């Protein structure tokens, strides 16, 4: 039987809390679920107000992250929700490509490392801990521009390709974990254009009404997760919960 709505989480794992959306999500889940335990991961000691006892400092894009996170999580409460914020669009010496000649192996590999492998390594750490009867929700922050069907503009090769790969990871996890668990929702979420370091260089053509604050987007993302049903698992969702084609 299909279940609508998601049980309130007693323990939430937020990965990538050093970023704009990650920090805002820490505030939002603390506000909505003041009694829930919050576990956090970031490359640095977090700027967000997190519990140092339940914060792990490492880079999820590093393959050594998988055993380290597994050991760390194994000594804690199994999270009911995992939200993975890790992602990159530009960095020093790299701007999104306008044409295929601008693509470099280095930029594509770096994009895959952060946009995909961070999520893979965390999934590998979590997978052995999952329990059939414990309801489980996984959300990877992805992007609408990773949708192949939605792509009418082209460009942004490494970001689009790596987010499309992330979307496939999410779809696969939804199938694998859906077979294993009684209640499992695995989704990719597009947060909408949000005023963070990631979008900063590309905000000039965005109308003010379509550039959201991190707090607004965090509120919407958590609302999407609260309202998930079994039928949503394996989908790429817009910030209002509607489906974006893969
Ligand atoms: N902002 C937008 O308009 C927008 C739109 C669509 C999708 N998104 C997606 O939303 C997510 C959060 O983005 P944001 O706007 O909050 O961007 P941000 O402020 O630039 O945050 C970057 C995120 O990526 C992680 N990260 C960066 N470099 C990393 C590395 N070398 N290894 C591992 N992790 C690394 C950071 O984790 P640490 O905690 O370790 O620093 C942080 O969670 C991303 O996946 C992004 O693609 C954003």
Instruction: Report the CATH number that the domain containing residue 134 is assigned in CATH.
Output: 3.40.50.720
> What confidence score (pLDDT) does residue 52 get?
84
Please give all residues whose beta carbon lies within 6 A of any atom in ligand 1, as ranges: 16-22, 42-43, 59-61, 85-88, 114, 118, 141, 143, 190-191, 193-194, 196-199
> What confidence score (pLDDT) does residue 59 get?
97
> What confidence score (pLDDT) does residue 3 get?
59
Q: Is residue 183 part of a domain?
A: yes
Q: Which residues neighbour 188 within 8 Å (Cβ) at sequence distance 6 or greater?
A: 139, 140, 141, 142, 146, 166, 167, 170, 235, 236, 237
- 59 vs 86: CA distance, rounded Å: 10
User: Which atom of ligand 1 is nearest to 163's Cα?
Assistant: 47
User: Which atom of ligand 1 is nearest to 91's Cα?
Assistant: 28
Q: Is residue 22 part of a domain?
A: yes
Q: Is residue 169 part of a domain?
A: yes
Tokens of 139: 């959300």
Convert the pLDDT of each residue in 86-115 to its tens digit.
999 999 999 999 999 999 999 999 999 999
Burial class (CB in 10 A: 0-12, 13-18, 19+), 64: exposed
Q: Is residue 79 part of a domain?
A: yes
Number of compact structural domains in the chain: 1
Contact yes or no for 77/134 (Cβ under 8 A):
no
Convert the pLDDT of each residue in 157-176 to its tens digit.
999 999 999 999 999 999 99
Q: Is residue 24 part of a domain?
A: yes
**Candidate of 17, 22, 50 to mutate for ligand 1, largest count of ligand atoms within 8 Å of Cβ:** 22
Name the residue range of residue 35's domain: 11-244
**Candidate of 18, 20, 63, 86 to mutate for ligand 1, largest count of ligand atoms within 8 Å of Cβ:** 86
**Candidate of 23, 46, 63, 87 to mutate for ligand 1, largest count of ligand atoms within 8 Å of Cβ:** 87
Nearest CA to ligand 1 atom 41: 18
Q: Is residue 1 part of a domain?
A: no
> What confidence score (pLDDT) does residue 7 get?
83
Q: Is residue 3 part of a domain?
A: no
Low-confidence ranges of the chain (pLDDT < 70): 1-4, 46-49
Q: Is residue 63 part of a domain?
A: yes
- 81 vs 7: CA distance, rounded Å: 10
């Amino acid at each position: 039987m299909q279940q609508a709505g998601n049980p309130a989480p007693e323990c939430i794992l937020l990965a990538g809390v050093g970023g704009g959306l990650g920090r805002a999500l820490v505030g939002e889940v603390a506000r909505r679920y003041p009694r829930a335990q919050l576990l956090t991961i970031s490359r640095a000691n977090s700027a967000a107000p997190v519990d140092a006892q339940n914060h792990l400092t490492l880079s999820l894009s590093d393959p050594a992250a998988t055993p380290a996170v597994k050991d760390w999580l194994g000594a804690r409460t199994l999270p009911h929700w995992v939200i993975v914020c890790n992602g990159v669009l530009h960095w020093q010496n790299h701007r999104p490509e306008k044409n295929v000649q601008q693509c470099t192996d280095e930029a594509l590999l770096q994009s895959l490392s952060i946009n995909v492998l961070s999520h893979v390594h965390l999934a590998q750490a979590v997978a052995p801990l999952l329990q059939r009867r414990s309801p489980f929700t996984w959300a990877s922050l992805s992007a609408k521009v990773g949708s192949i069907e939605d792509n009418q503009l082209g460009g942004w090769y490494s970001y689009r390709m790596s987010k499309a790969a992330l979307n496939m990871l999410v779809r696969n996890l939804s199938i694998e974990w859906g077979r294993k668990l009684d209640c499992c929702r695995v989704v990719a979420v597009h947060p909408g254009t949000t005023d963070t370091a990631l979008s900063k260089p590309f905000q000039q053509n965005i109308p003010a009404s379509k550039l959201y604050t991190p707090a607004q987007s965090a509120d919407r993302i958590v609302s999407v997760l609260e309202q998930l049903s079994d039928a949503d698992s394996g989908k790429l969702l817009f910030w209002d919960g509607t489906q974006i084609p893969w």
